[in-house]
Structure 1
Amino acid sequence: MLPQEQKLEIIYKGEKQILTYFFRPGELGTVLWLHAYCCGKEDFEPAFSNHLLDGYTLAGFDFPGSSNSPYPENKSFDFDDLVEMTKIFIENLKLKNVIVIGHSTGSLVASLLAERYPDLAKAVVSVEGNMDLGDCWLTKKIAGNSYEKFIQEILPEYLKSLEGGPIEVYGAHLRRANPRSCYDYAGSVLKYSEKGLETFLGLKVPKLFIYCKENSSLSYLPILKKEINVVEIQDSNHWPIYDNPDAFFKALSEFLKSNIY
């Protein structure tokens, strides 16, 4: 069960921004969850009841426009802004020994944070994170069209396609997200996915890549397996934290114990 949601008010580029977040203190290092494209901190809920993470400080926050963090009406944000806000979040909460977990596009933010601010990230875990443009079919379609076409055609059609499927949970996130934020972030997904693999492998910290059995044909898996620790999660499809939480948290806790603590 998640702890009560809290709000962090920051001043970013001269204006107030609210970041909604969850936080559970612990005596060990911090496991910080960065959610996927237009999703939310709620995806980290299984962590708060899993005994394998007992003792760790757990935190996760909503990027602007996702879940309960508002999105400004008078400006646009991109992934560079999300990196800076993650830095501000870590510093404001005085988080120590931070292991950053990025799910899907959240992995791009995690990698950029560790690359630009190496003192803030002790390790990076990518959960089916974007590694090349082949991971970007949806955001490529969004970025290549007008905002009007996105909200009138692309988004409704995509939401309908998710109904009854293995990632139906994603539809609930997208319905809740601010559509303007989804549109604005799409360009950054393309920009940083193009060299996602290079950036991730170049990080000077311990790294773990987690992928799901149903996506075992990812083209870059052979490269990752030669370079770093890679774990396959059985019976899952892009959302291992929901599909197979026992295997997911076992992989995560073993990585933490062998590489960090």
Structure 2
Amino acid sequence: MPTHDQIAKETVTLHVQGVELEVATVHRAGELAPIVFLHGFGSTKEDYVDIVRHPAFAGRPFIAYDAPGCGATRCGDPSKVSIPFLVATAKAVLERFGIGNFHLVGHSMGGLTALMLAHEQSHRLLSFVDIEGNVAPEDCFLSRQVVDYPADTADAFFEDFIERTWRSPFYSSALYASSLRHKVRVEAVRGIFTSMVELSDHGDLMTKFLSMPFPRMFMYGEQNASLSYLPHLRANGVKLAEISRSGHFPMYSNPVEMWERLAGFLTPASAE
């Protein structure tokens, strides 16, 4: 049985766009091309640590880290965090760990970050799994609340956001909402959400996604099977993975099926 002894926890100091970061990472070394995992808003690197529990990924190196403004990563100025800042952070992490070609997996906020990173670094990507990351304006059901539900202070907005999320009728929403205060710096919320809305509305994300030359998979929960663009993705060569008994958070609602679908996609794509 794989154990957590196979992975290393390491905090690395980086400077990104003039901001000092102490980035909390988990990683495992190996000879094959690594998987780079990017978590979503309100989540952490621990979403992906169970990779060591799955024999299909035996020997596969990987890295996951807490994004600035989230988890155990310390950020000198959380108000500077945005999707472009997170892309710059990802590039700094890749450089710090000497990562060349890699497989990329991103969820939600991390999926959008990953899409922008993959667009910039397409020559290095071996595959890309987008887990409910933003590719169209309709994906801003969380982030657009910064526009739709204005509040007098950042704290007031975040408290109301947590309550709305807790009461959402989607799988794992209450579980997710219950830890938001502990996993997100409130000063980072507005910059993240406003940049997600801006890119989703005006960033031509679908064109970027469909133009990528490497294998791609879009993963979504069955509660989001009505997303209007799913047939368009399929028609343009993107593999679809619908996770049963799940909404926006398959790693919380149905992790067994999530990891099975990731393994089924990444193993054939992992000849290197």
Q: TM-score, normalised by structure 1?
A: 0.90
CA distance in 1, matches of 2:79, 2:107: 26
Instruction: Indicate the RMSD between aligned Cα atoms, in angstroms.
Output: 2.2
Report the equivalent of 2:71.
67
Q: 1:213 aligns with which of 222, 227, 230?
A: 222
Counterpart in the other structure of 1:200: 209
2:62 pairs with one of 52, 58, 61? 58
Which residue in 2 is equivalent to 1:110? 114
**Is the contact made by 2:19 and 2:76 (CA closer than 8 Å) also made in structure 1?**
no
Cα displacement string for residues 72-97 of structure 1 (whole angstroms, at most 9, x for unaligned residues)? 24851221111111011011111243
Q: Aligned-pair distance for 1:183?
A: 1.4
d(CA) in 1 for partners of 2:99, 2:255 = 25
Greater shift, 201-210 or 65-74, is seen at 65-74
List runs of 5+ in structure 1 lacking aligned partners. none
Asked if the contact 1:35/1:41 (under 8 Å) is kept, the reply is yes
1:136 to 116, 137, 140: 140
Q: What's 2:175 paired with?
A: 169
Does the Cα contact within 8 Å between 1:38 and 1:65 map onto a contact in 2? Answer: no
Greater shift in the superposed pair: 187-196 or 97-106 = 187-196
Q: Matched residues in 2 for 1:39 and 1:250: separation?
A: 21
**Cα offset for 1:20?**
0.8
The answer to whether structure 1 residue 95 and structure 2 residue 95 are counterparts is no
CA–CA distance in structure 2, aligned partners of residues 74 and 23 of structure 1: 24
Deviation at 1:250, TM superposition (A): 1.8
* Partner SS for 1:65: coil
Taking a change above 3 Å as real, the CA distance of residues 163 and 13 of structure 1, as seen in their structure-2 partners, is closer
- Any residues of structure 2 matched to 1:17-56 within 5 Å, and which? 17-56=21-60
Q: Which residue of 1 aligns with 2:82?
A: 78
Letter in 2 for 1:190: V
Moved more, 179-188 or 68-77: 68-77
Structure 1's 13 and 102: CA in aligned 2 closer, same or farther, altered over 3 A?
same
Letter in 1 for 2:199: Y
1:189 alignment partner in structure 2: 196
For these two proteins, the number of residue pairs brought into alignment is 260
Deviations 1:23-49 (Å, cap 9, x if unpaired)?
112332211111112321111132222
When normalised by structure 2's length, the TM-score is 0.87
Displacement, 1:119? 3.0
Contact 1:107–1:126 under 8 Å retained in 2: yes
Residues 4 and 256 of structure 1: is their aligned pair in 2 closer, same or farther, counting only changes over 3 Å? closer
Partner of 2:124: 120
Identity among equivalent pairs (%): 24
Mean Cα displacement is larger for which, 228-237 or 154-163? 154-163
- Listed as ranges, the gaps of 5+ residues in structure 2 are none
Shift of 1:160: 2.2
For the pair 1:180 / 2:183, whether they are aligned, the reply is no
